[in-house]
């Protein structure tokens, strides 16, 4: 497996978020990437450094005003006389609020969907660096067809075209998919196996027929992101039929998960994608601190094998998966399973 990773993931280092009304330590920390990197380095993988593709491929997915917010938010926030060490919104536009704000506190509520995406002084740089890793992987894949894993951090699949959320700022998987389209792929499929619904990815492509979005995730009636991820969300307009959600009940283990994966892969086969982006969350693990599902390390190995058997040009983009004593083992299992299946 070819792997794209960075030398330093520490520039974005959020400290907290709010969960069920409590301020808690943020699980999306630099040590995640360090664990995943050690797992990669312990295997026989071809490691390459990311390239800088600039902002144009990012702007192909994200709105200009949103990118401007991310670039300038910290400077505006830190100019407040009583600012906190991270930007955490304390007001969001509700159903009856329609004015676009100009003050940084209002802008934070407008562009940050929740409190799980705090912005600090290094967030913009960290998010752009993560997107460049995904772009490097997609570009390398399209040039020679070799499967490539992008060790992205921060993750991206909860980021909409114009909004951050759920630890995510720039949607790395969507950016990779769009880059593949721009390089010449006629159709691209994104398969999201993170435990949380890939709501941002769904939103970006919901009205498009050229990118199939498929997400296997915990049932959103009782799990983040709550407002999206239901089976009746199938796309709209030209994209009707190009979105598939496969929600799973709490505690689902290897057997049912793998059966559901076969349903997802059959949809991708029917779609006829020229390239496949795997949004790889490892937080479906039975030992993940945000646990909702119960996939084992052996199950992740089989997930990797089934993804590898498809034969399509594939880029794997790291999404979630939080610190446990088997986080690195789970990544190693996916990559090894994929490589074995590809021979």
pLDDT of res. 78: 98
pLDDT of res. 343: 83
pLDDT of res. 131: 98
Quote the distance between the C-alpha of residue 130 and its chain's center: 11
For the segment 26-31, the average pLDDT, to the nearest whole number, is 98
Which residues does the annotation mark as catalytic?
Answer: 158
DSSP 8-state class, residue 125: H
In sequence order, what E strands does 87-218 have?
Answer: 148-150, 188-192, 211-218
DSSP for 252-288, please give it. Answer: -BHHHHHHHHHHHHHHHHHHT-SEEEEEE--TTBTT-
Q: What is the C-alpha separation between 1 and 11, in angstroms, rounded?
A: 27
For the segment 12-28, the average pLDDT, to the nearest whole number, is 94
Q: Which percentage of the chain shows pLDDT scores above 70?
A: 100
In the 3-class helix/strand/coil scheme, how is 44-68 assigned residue by residue? CCEEECCCCCCCHHHHCCCCHHHHH
- Each residue's pLDDT tens digit, 183-204: 999 999 999 999 999 999 999 9
Q: What is the C-alpha separation between 127 and 124, in angstroms, rounded?
A: 5
- Each residue's pLDDT tens digit, 217-268: 999 999 999 999 999 999 999 999 999 999 999 999 999 999 999 999 999 9
| CA distance readout (Å), 220 to 71, 199, 320 | 31, 11, 16
- Each residue's pLDDT tens digit, 33-63: 999 999 999 999 999 999 999 999 999 999 9
Q: What six digits make up the tokens of 242?
A: 């190009």
- Going from N- to C-terminal start, the domains of the chain cover 2-62+122-342
Sequence-ordered alpha helix ranges (H) in 54-167: 56-59, 64-78, 104-111, 123-144
Give the number of C-alpha atoms closer than 13 A to the C-alpha of residue 108, restricted to the C-beta side: 24
Give the number of C-alpha atoms closer than 13 A to the C-alpha of residue 224, restricted to the C-beta side: 21
Fold adopted by 2-62+122-342: 3.40.800
DSSP for 300-337, please give it. Answer: HHHHHHHHHTT-S-EEEEE------TTHHHHHHHHHHH
| N- to C-terminal Cα separation, the chain | 11
């Amino acid at each position: 497996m070819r792997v794209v990773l960075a030398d330093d993931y520490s520039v974005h280092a959020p400290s907290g978020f709010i969960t069920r009304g409590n301020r808690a330590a943020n699980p999306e920390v630099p040590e995640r990437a360090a664990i995943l990197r050690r797992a990669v380095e312990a295997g026989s993988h071809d490691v390459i450094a990311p390239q800088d593709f600039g902002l144009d491929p990012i702007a192909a997915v994200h709105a200009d005003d949103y990118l401007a917010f991310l670039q300038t938010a910290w400077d505006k926030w830190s100019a407040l006389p009583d600012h906190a060490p991270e930007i955490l919104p304390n007001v969001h536009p509700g159903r009856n609020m329609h004015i676009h704000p100009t003050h940084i506190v209002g802008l934070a509520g407008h562009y940050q969907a929740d409190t799980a995406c705090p912005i600090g002084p290094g967030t913009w740089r960290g998010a752009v660096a993560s997107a460049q890793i995904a772009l490097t992987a997609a570009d390398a894949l399209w040039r020679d067809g070799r499967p490539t894993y992008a060790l992205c951090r921060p993750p991206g699949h909860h980021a909409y075209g114009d909004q951050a959320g759920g630890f995510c700022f720039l949607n790395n998987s969507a950016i990779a998919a769009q880059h593949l389209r721009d390089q010449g792929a006629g159709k691209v499929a994104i398969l999201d196996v993170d435990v949380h619904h890939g709501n941002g990815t769904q939103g970006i492509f919901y009205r498009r027929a050229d990118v199939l979005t498929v997400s296997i995730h915990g049932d959103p009636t009782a799990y983040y992101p709550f407002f999206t991820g239901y089976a009746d969300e199938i796309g709209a307009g030209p994209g009707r039929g190009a979105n598939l959600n496969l929600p799973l009940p709490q505690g689902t283990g290897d057997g049912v998960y793998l059966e559901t994966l076969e349903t997802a892969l059959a949809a991708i086969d029917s779609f006829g994608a020229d390239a496949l982006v795997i949004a790889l969350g490892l937080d479906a693990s039975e030992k993940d601190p945000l646990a909702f599902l119960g996939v084992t390390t052996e199950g992740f190995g089989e997930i990797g094998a089934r993804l590898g058997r498809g034969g399509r040009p594939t880029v794997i983009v790291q999404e979630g998966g939080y610190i446990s004593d088997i986080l690195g083992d789970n990544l190693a299992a996916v990559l090894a399973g994929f490589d074995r299946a590809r021979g």
